[in-house]
Amino acid sequence: STSIVWFRDDLRLADNPALHAALERGGPVLCLFVLDEQSPGVRPLGGAAKWWLHHSLASLGERLRERGAQLVLRRGPAEKVVQQTVQDADASAIFWNRRYAGPEREIDTALKQELRARGVEVASFAASLLFEPWTVRTGAGTPYSVFTPFWRACQSLPAPREPLAEPTEIRGAKHRVASDALDDWRLLPHTPDWAGGLRETWQPGEPAARERLEQFLTNDLADYDRARDEPAAGATSLLSPRLRWGELSPHTVWHETLAVAEPAASTHRFLSELGWREFAWHTLFHSPDLANQNWRREFDAFPWPPLDEQALSAWQHGRTGVALVDAGMRELWHTGTMHNRVRMVVASLLTKNLLIDWRHGEQWFWDTLVDADAASNPFNWQWVAGSGADAAPYFRIFNPELQAKKFDPHGEYISRWTAGQLASAPIVDLRASRGAALNAYDVVKRSK
């Protein structure tokens, strides 16, 4: 009888343990995706993420169809919708790959119990992380709060498993189950259609993700360690949205990277960036309220001044008059991504020079990044703001001018995104605001 594979953040056929398990079981398979904007605590997707999801689902649906299976799309609170689908499909088993954010875990745990009580076989698998959060523990049995020992501990665990092969044929369920039409979900922007830059920049879907991985490994990995910090160099993998939506598994990236014999420094550096992704999820798993709550609670005493709406808006729209910051914010608006070095610089300017609470920046990134995820985004914002796990020391306030000199020495990145058009003068005095930020931090230090 029918097995359901519930796709979530794993929009791929290759190395998909849930799909693999359903196929091993032998009966017909029904594939399901649920758009859940209603369950308590589940954070509604941002605009850029919805754009990506639309195209990635279209690609997945087509690939499933080619292999003989249907992708059923349903919308609503996942717990209810999944139960209903099990009933509609008369399914006797359901498989999924695990999620690690708090509200999603609650849904999955509840469903597991309810479905098992009804005699439905339920199994879940590790697919989105190389090292599941609870498997990495300090000697004292606690979670890690510093990256280097965390990553060392990961490496002493059994190596990530080899990726599973992509199925060539999937026997679909005989009777069709009602599905929404993807277009009816209105995930794409309409009026205005701001997604032109996204369309120019990205091709969502598993085949393009694989292609991008291969290109990166062939052309860019060797130089990664040297050039990864230069925003104009195009030296990084651009895999983050693909990992976010699971068009590629980290296992595939891991093993394919190790299979190319490149200089150890580049390989190690690249794999350790995947390690930061793991660490962000480890941190979220143990601190589920990471997007709202300071990870270091002493930062609750930080004396944020009343919100300066004008300054926030200037930052959002790339009109601060600080060249590297405006370039980054315009890159983000146009493409749905921003180079990592520049993300750090714009976040530092917002939280330290403009003294705007990191949550405002996190929310803007959530809405505009194609790779925004529940762990990496708040984790990195808190890292820059100083309130996060293994955060940069507060007094390391990025100077955007020095950063530009060092990492964009010919001004290539800046002129690509600003075309020489800056607001006349910076809206903030970098030196004076740095002093004000350090004074504000004194309050945190005193409250400890």
- Which residues form the interface with ligand FAD (CB under 6 A)? 228, 236-240, 243-244, 273-274, 276-277, 280, 340, 343-344, 347, 365, 369, 371-373, 376-377, 380-381, 384
Interior angle at CA 75, CA 73 and CA 80, nearest 5: 110
Q: How far is the CB of 102 from ligand FAD (least distance, A)?
A: 17
Contacts 24+ apart (CB under 8 A), 155-162: 157/131, 160/130, 160/131, 160/250, 160/251, 160/254, 160/255, 161/251, 162/251, 162/255
Q: Which is nearer to ligand FAD, 3 or 237 (CB)?
A: 237
Q: How far is the CB of 76 from ligand FAD (least distance, A)?
A: 26
| Residue 266: CB minimum distance to ligand FAD, A | 11
**Rounded CA gap, 189 and 62, in Å?**
22
Radius of gyration, CA atoms only, the chain: 23
Strand partners, 31: 5, 71
User: Which residue, 123 or 238, is less far from ligand FAD as judged by CB?
Assistant: 238
- For the bound state, the minimum distance from the C-beta of residue 7 to ligand FAD, rounded and expressed in Å, comes to 20
CA 316 – CA 321 distance, rounded (Å): 12
Cα–Cα distance for residue pair 47/32, rounded to 1 Å? 22
d(CA 238, CA 142): 33
Query: What's the half-sphere exposure (Cβ side, CA atoms, 13 Å) at 68?
Result: 11
Q: For ligand FAD, which is the closer residue by CB, 236 or 433?
A: 236
Of 71 and 384, the one with the shorter C-beta distance to ligand FAD is 384
Closest distance to ligand FAD from the beta carbon of 315 (Å): 13
Nearer to ligand FAD, 79 or 331 (CB): 331
Greatest CA separation for the chain = 69
Please state, in angstroms and rounded to a whole number, the distance separating the CA atoms of residues 23 and 171.
8
We find the least distance from the C-beta atom of residue 419 to ligand FAD, in angstroms, to be 23
**CB-nearer residue toward ligand FAD: 71 or 274:** 274
Q: Which residues of 22-59 are buried (b: 16+ CB within 10 A; e: fewer)?
A: bbebeebbbbbbbbbeebeebeebbbbbbbbbbbbbbb
Q: Smallest Cα–Cα separation from 217: which of 173, 181, 254?
A: 254
* Terminal-residue alpha carbon distance, the chain: 60
For residues 18 and 349, which CB has a smaller minimum distance to ligand FAD in the complex? Answer: 349
Q: Cβ closer to ligand FAD: 23 or 325?
A: 325
Closest distance between ligand FAD and the C-beta of residue 376, in Å? 3
Nearest to ligand FAD of 33, 364 (CB atom): 364
C-alpha span between 417 and 419 (Å, rounded): 6
Ramachandran region, residue 263 (left: φ > 0; alpha: ψ -120 to 50; beta: rest): beta
Shortest spacing between CB 384 and ligand FAD, in angstroms: 5
Q: If 0-12 CB within 10 Å is exposed, 13-18 middle and 19+ buried, where does residue 361 land?
A: buried
Compute the least distance from the CB of residue 121 to ligand FAD, in Å.
33
